[in-house]
């Protein structure tokens, strides 16, 4: 075979390799689910955790994304702020922010919680990462004033930073024994399914926002 024919053959062969290379495929949108035990999947199998079931539900609708589980059991908003940079890497396209339940149960000063969430949202906005902010309610035994202030905090922060708001992460799941584990706090597999079903439209809105680059 002449040198010319060899080079043509080689170019054609490399062309086929490049065409078939996974690197040439379109990168999946990367969403980081950034939260506490409710995100991490405390008490359930990894396949039953919120990020895994959410990704599965989206795939069922033909929406292929990569959802990373960045949940840490016991985490507070201050803890989330401390690990923000390494939990939400540079290639992140969107974030589902679910923090605050542990702050409420521990009775942490609301000003501290608000400041931490504010800084998390501010830093994500500066990075151009759209956010779905999941609200949380404080236990009723914390007193009416605290409970109301806690509930009002999330909509105010979402409006300030242009985040998409899901008012209460445990909506239709909290206080329902059949949807929770024995501790009455963490959802079981059926509870996670309900959360995913209800939050899905907001997640689709987040994906559209990420794809639009806003």
Catalytic residues: 37, 183, 186
Q: Give the H or E element holding residue 158.
A: helix 144-161
> 8-27 burial string, b = 16+ CB within 10 Å, else e?
eeeeeeeeeeeeeeeeeeee
DSSP state of 180: B
Q: Which residues contact 148 (CB under 8 A, 6 or more apart)?
A: none
Give the separation between CA 127 and CA 108, rounded to whole angstroms.
Answer: 28
Give the separation between CA 102 and CA 113, rounded to whole angstroms.
Answer: 10
Give the separation between CA 133 and CA 163, rounded to whole angstroms.
Answer: 6
CB half-sphere exposure, 163, CA atoms < 13 A: 31
Q: What are phi and psi of 32, to 5 degrees?
A: -100, 120
Give the separation between CA 120 and CA 126, rounded to whole angstroms.
Answer: 10
Whether residue 166 contacts residue 195, with contact meaning beta carbons closer than 8 Å, is answered with no
């Amino acid at each position: 075979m002449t040198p010319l024919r060899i080079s043509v053959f080689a170019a054609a062969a490399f062309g086929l390799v490049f065409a078939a290379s996974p690197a040439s495929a379109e990168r999946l949108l990367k969403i980081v689910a950034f939260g506490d035990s409710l995100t991490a999947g405390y008490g359930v199998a990894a396949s039953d955790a919120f990020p895994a079931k959410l990704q599965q539900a989206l795939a069922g609708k033909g929406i292929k994304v990569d959802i990373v589980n960045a949940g840490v059991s016991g985490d507070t908003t201050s803890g989330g702020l401390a690990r923000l940079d390494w939990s939400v890497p540079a290639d992140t396209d969107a974030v589902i922010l679910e923090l605050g339940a542990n702050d409420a149960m521990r009775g942490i000063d609301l000003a501290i919680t608000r400041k931490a969430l504010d800084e998390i949202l501010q830093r994500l906005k500066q990075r151009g990462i759209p956010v779905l902010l999941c609200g949380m309610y404080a236990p009723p035994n914390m007193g009416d004033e605290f409970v109301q202030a806690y509930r009002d905090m999330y909509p105010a922060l979402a409006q300030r930073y242009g985040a998409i708001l899901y008012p209460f992460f445990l909506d239709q799941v909290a206080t329902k024994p059949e949807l929770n584990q024995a501790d009455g706090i963490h959802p079981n597999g059926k509870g996670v399914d309900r959360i995913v079903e209800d939050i899905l439209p907001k997640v689709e809105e987040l994906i559209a926002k990420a794809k639009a680059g806003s």
